[in-house]
A = this chain, B = another copy of it.
Amino acid sequence: MGAPLTDQRARNKQATREAITQAALQLAIEFGPNGLALVRVHDIASAAGVSPRTYNNYFSSREEAICGLHADQSKRAGEALRARPADEPLGVALTEAMVELFTDPEPDRAGLRMIMLTPELEGEALKAFTVGETSLAEAIGERTGQDGLCSEVTAAAVVAAIRVAGKTWLTPAANRPFADVIRQALGCVLRG
């Protein structure tokens, strides 16, 4: 983990991980939210070009594999905020950071729909969102110097707002850019 990216091993490992998550998500989408139980571990593994045993060296459940990509994205929340200019007000910086993080590229509707609207995936989807809270809270703390609790609460609230925004964006009624929904949702909780 701490090894530099130039390490061939780390590259292979990351490549394997991504191959598995992408294969898992792809298969889940094909089978649909209802037939998720039909997605066999064996199929995911062979689609990713690894053995079933290797698959579960990386993930201990189908759900975890399917949500892996989204989890990796969430983990970048902290660095997304740090990339904003330091003189920007916190609310603006947070909003723009989240917009950039979650709309570059614009998320795949089918994938997000699968992750967020499949009951069996609910737990893992929540985990995938919340893994970003820690790094985001740290980044907020650095920027504002405010209380640790308050940073964490703010980070958690932002992540929760993004999650609600995602759910809203998925409803057929509101077909507008994800960025708009994110801005509106964050506007409901950020007034500082």
Interfacial residues, chain A to chain B (CB-CB below 8 A): 63, 122-124, 126-127, 130, 147, 149-150, 152-154, 156-157, 159-161, 163-165, 167-168, 181, 184-185, 188-189, 191-192
Q: Which residue of B lies closest to A167 (CB)?
A: B152
A interface majority secondary structure: helix
CB distance from A177 to the nearest CB of B (A): 15
Indicate if the CB atoms of B127 and A188 lie closer than 8 Å: no
The answer, among B126, B153, B164, for a CB contact under 8 Å with A152, is B164
Within the assembled complex, what's the spacing in Å between the Cα atoms of A98 and B41? 42
Indicate if the CB atoms of B189 and A153 lie closer than 8 Å: yes
Copies in the complex: 2
Indicate if the CB atoms of B123 and A153 lie closer than 8 Å: no
Give me the 7 closest cross-chain CB pairs, A-B, nearest first: A123-B123, A156-B160, A126-B126, A157-B157, A153-B188, A160-B160, A150-B188
Residue from the set A126, A127, A130, A164 with the largest chain B CB neighbour count within 10 Å: A164
Within the assembled complex, what's the spacing in Å between the Cα atoms of A160 and B136? 14
Q: Which residue of B lies closest to A192 (CB)?
A: B191
Indicate if the CB atoms of A153 and B149 lie closer than 8 Å: no
Q: A126-B127, A130-B126, A188-B150 are in contact. Are A161 and B157 (CB under 8 A)?
A: yes
Within the assembled complex, what's the spacing in Å between the Cα atoms of A115 and B146? 28
Q: Which residues of the other chain, B, contact A127 by a CB distance below 8 angstroms?
A: 122-123, 126
A sample of 26 inter-chain contacts (CB < 8 A) reads A63-B123, A122-B127, A122-B130, A123-B127, A126-B126, A126-B127, A126-B130, A147-B188, A149-B164, A149-B168, A149-B184, A149-B185, A150-B188, A152-B167, A153-B164, A153-B165, A153-B185, A153-B188, A153-B189, A154-B188, A154-B189, A156-B160, A156-B163, A157-B157, A157-B160, A159-B160
Q: Which residues of the other chain, B, contact A160 by a CB distance below 8 angstroms?
A: 153, 156-157, 159-160
